[in-house]
Amino acid sequence: GISYVTQYSYDGANRLASITPPTGEVLTLGRNPAGHIDSVTSKNGTVTTTLAKNIVYDGAGQVTAQTLGNGVKQSASYDLSGHPAVFSVNRVDGDLNGDGIVNVADVALAERMALGLLQPTADQLMHGDVAPNAAPDGIIDAADVSRIRRKALGLESF
């Protein structure tokens, strides 16, 4: 018969680091300082693709936010029993207050977040992390404020 082998590799802390199925594609798991998986990439030959990044966890170790390789951002919240209560998929659009438009109110929120005066929710982070363009960095900073301001003024669309 035919035999198929899947290989698994582990890091120095004995945590799963990569998986290589019979196809030869290598799935690599990136980890944050706490040891949680914070990114998943796929390498097939010379082509590397990000499948998920900026994976965020709550205190119970459940995923609360992630950015998929196609740029779609997802967030989830859980009830007191740990069951999913809300799951949302959001566009990166600069609408921090959720009113459906990007205006001066969103710019003001972004400025407060960039200065560290306001902690963004997972949903706000998904909507407001608009820079660098096509490669959000997981934080709301001055670059995000600038793009949101430009959109509010009608100088940029995304």
Architecture of domain 92-158: Orthogonal Bundle (1.10)
* 134: pLDDT strictly greater than 70: no
| CA–CA gap between residue 51 and residue 133 (Å, rounded) | 18
User: What are the pLDDT digits (tens) for 43-59?
Assistant: 999 999 999 999 999 99
Confidence of residue 157 (pLDDT cuts 50, 70, 90): confident
Quote the CA–CA distance of 66 and 122 in Å, as a whole number: 9
pTM exceeding the 0.75 threshold for the entire prediction: no
Mean pLDDT in residue range 126-152: 89
78 contact partners, CB below 8 Å, separation of at least 6: 58, 60, 62, 84, 85
Average pLDDT of span 83-108? 90
The full set of domain ranges for the chain reads: 92-158
pLDDT band per the 50, 70, 90 thresholds, residue 101 = very high
Give the pairing type, strands 26-31 and 47-57.
unpaired
At 4-33, the pLDDT tens digits run 999 999 999 999 999 999 999 999 999 999
Question: Which whole number is the average pLDDT over 127-142?
Answer: 85
Q: Strands, E, within 116-158: which ranges?
A: none
